[in-house]
Amino acid sequence: MENSDMFNAATKQQTFHDFLERMKHPSAADLVRSIKSFIVNFMSSPIDPAMDSASAQDFLSTTEVAFRAHPLWAGATEEELENAAEGLEKYVMTKIFTRAYSPLPSDSLKDQELSDKISLLQHFIKPEHLDLPQSFQNEASWLIAEKELQKINSYKAPRDKLVCILNCCRVINNLLLMAKSGTPPGAEEFLPALIYVVIKANPPQLHSNLQFIERYRHSSRLVAEASYFYTSLVSVESFIEKLDAKSLSMDEAEFEERMQNARSVVFPPGLPSTPPEKLLLPKEKEGSITKPDEATKRTAKESSELSVAKLEAGGASGVVEADRSGQLAKEYPFLYASAGDLRVEDVESLLTQYKELVLRYVALRKGLESIGRKPAIVEEPPSPAPALAAPVPAPAPSETIAAQDGGSTCSNSTIDDALHDSIPELSWERPHDEEQWEKVNEQQSHHGGGGSEANDSDPVVIT
């Protein structure tokens, strides 16, 4: 099957759900046990990106061969077997995502550095700096390609992330094709356009996403058009990392001046940080002594309002930093979405995130109010109050599910729960080491990961 045809066939919304339905069949119990065993072993093994990649690729290949010999796929067409393989990859990679994605601090550091540099370049780079002809300089048209690339963190499966790249590049190709009156664009035109789109889009965690695709997209499917576009984006990443005045045909002094001007806007002096222990009580005038009975007269309202206000102000610089690093887009995938980006199936995820935010904020405020109502004790000489830990709210009802093996509970992300529940009541054995099993569940529940909540539906492929 041609690569483009494979992508289009695998894009059908039913593909993944068909795979899950087959896994519910009693005869699939051996496959389910094998899949679960791999997930447990992978999640509990030491981090080694090269070994992890080889292990996952080997498991996917072996299981795909098992599909062909399994009664559930007796008489299946090549397309059905291909769809089963795609379903397997999506299920497994969604389960091990928190462990497989951006596993090393160096990955996150490179994401940050690349995003920071792009943030600066955005302030002054123009199409002519990349030698794009005037006929290609339609900013409104490039927005479509930018939005497709920015969706890359909305998915956890390598294939789905790759489709976002595929869509972005196809939009660029189509725009160049129209600008040239039907003449196919060459690499000398496509690459500068892709560079410009990447700089304008500043996709979240670009390096980690590219590494994740390379490590975990099955090598037999990273071919043809998908391989060309993926390799092109890797080249763009490398170009931007090394980009200097010569890259933009710009005078060195002018380039440095523009970068410095952009830096003063993008990275303004941060707000002064305020230690948590100094947030509860107003600062006394130098030389004054506050008696315990005077401290207790301060009302809880004054104390809590002051604390929350200062915490929010002190955290503002952290929000800016999280935005630059892609952390906000990872944790809140709808933060930069417009109304036109939303789908009916997004409502449940949005509602869950809204409830979580409300619970966390209210718990924080109530916790500070509760502390503010307690008498402040001042030692002789006065000692600073202990740092405050933000209260942890109870999980929303949709976050806690019963484990399939009966009785115990495990907290995963909402979409992970849905995947977990999609293969119910199969008699697969728990690992002999019960503590190891609980440890794996805890890792899946609390690991922040890189990238956003998985999208259960497949991304729509642009042709």
The pLDDT tens digits for 147-167 are 999 999 989 999 999 999 999
In the chain, domain spans: 3-100, 105-265, 275-281+291-407
Average the pLDDT over 324-332 and give the result: 66
Spatial neighbors of 116 by CB under 8 A, at least 6 apart, are 266, 267, 324
Please check the confidence at residue 274 and state whether its pLDDT lies above 60.
no
* CB-count burial class (<10 Å; 0-12, 13-18, 19+) for 98: buried
Q: How far apart are the first and last CA of the chain?
A: 17
Burial 337-362 (b: 16+ CB within 10 A, else e): beeeeeeeebeebeebbeebeeeeee
Q: Where are the alpha helices (DSSP H) in 269-345?
A: 292-295, 300-325, 327-331
Among 168-172, 218-222, 324-328, the minimum mean pLDDT is found in 324-328
Please check the confidence at residue 388 and state whether its pLDDT lies above 80.
no
- Give the pLDDT score at 91: 95
169: how many CB neighbours lie within 10 A of its CB?
25
* CB-count burial class (<10 Å; 0-12, 13-18, 19+) for 213: buried
Mean pLDDT, the chain, whole residue set = 73
Task: Let me know if domain 3-100 sits in CATH 1.10.246.120.
Answer: yes
**Alpha-carbon distance 229 to 225, whole Å?**
6
Among 70-79, 100-109, 188-197, 436-445, the minimum mean pLDDT is found in 436-445
**Alpha-carbon distance 457 to 291, whole Å?**
62
Cβ atoms of 120 and 266 within 8 Å: the answer is: yes
CA-CA-CA-CA dihedral for 407, 409, 413, 419, to nearest 10? -20
351-360 contacts, C-beta under 8 A, 24 or more apart: 352/396, 352/398, 352/399, 352/414, 355/396, 356/393, 356/396, 359/393, 359/394, 359/396, 360/390, 360/393
Please check the confidence at residue 178 and state whether its pLDDT lies above 90.
no
**Residue carrying structure tokens 């890797």:** 234
User: Nearest 5°: CA angle at 210, between 455 and 124?
Assistant: 100
Cβ atoms of 194 and 170 within 8 Å: the answer is: no
Q: Where are the alpha helices (DSSP H) in 96-185?
A: 97-100, 105-121, 139-150, 158-179
Pick 31 or 327 by higher pLDDT: 31
Please check the confidence at residue 376 and state whether its pLDDT lies above 60.
no
- Give the pLDDT score at 426: 31
- Give the pLDDT score at 181: 75
Cβ atoms of 156 and 93 within 8 Å: the answer is: yes
Please check the confidence at residue 300 and state whether its pLDDT lies above 90.
no
Cβ atoms of 176 and 235 within 8 Å: the answer is: no
Spatial neighbors of 328 by CB under 8 A, at least 6 apart, are 319, 322, 335
Q: Strands (DSSP E) along 208-330, which ranges? A: none
Q: What percent of the chain has pLDDT over 70?
A: 59
Question: 105-265 in CATH: which number?
Answer: 1.20.1050.80
379: how many CB neighbours lie within 10 A of its CB?
8
Among 51-65, 242-256, 293-307, 400-414, the minimum mean pLDDT is found in 400-414
Same fold, 3-100 and 105-265: no
- Give the pLDDT score at 49: 95
Angle separating helix axes 187-201 and 105-121, nearest 10 degrees: 100
Among 165-174, 184-193, 425-434, the minimum mean pLDDT is found in 425-434
- Give residue 131's pLDDT band: very low, low, confident or very high (50, 70, 90): confident
**Alpha-carbon distance 411 to 158, whole Å?**
24
- Give the pLDDT score at 193: 93
Pick 453 or 128 by higher pLDDT: 128
**Residue carrying structure tokens 């299946």:** 76
Pick 186 or 214 by higher pLDDT: 214
**Alpha-carbon distance 271 to 268, whole Å?**
9
List pLDDT tens digits, range 199-216: 999 999 999 999 999 999
Pick 421 or 106 by higher pLDDT: 106
- Give the pLDDT score at 142: 86
Report the predicted TM-score, pTM, of the whole model to 2 decimal places: 0.62
- Give the pLDDT score at 192: 93
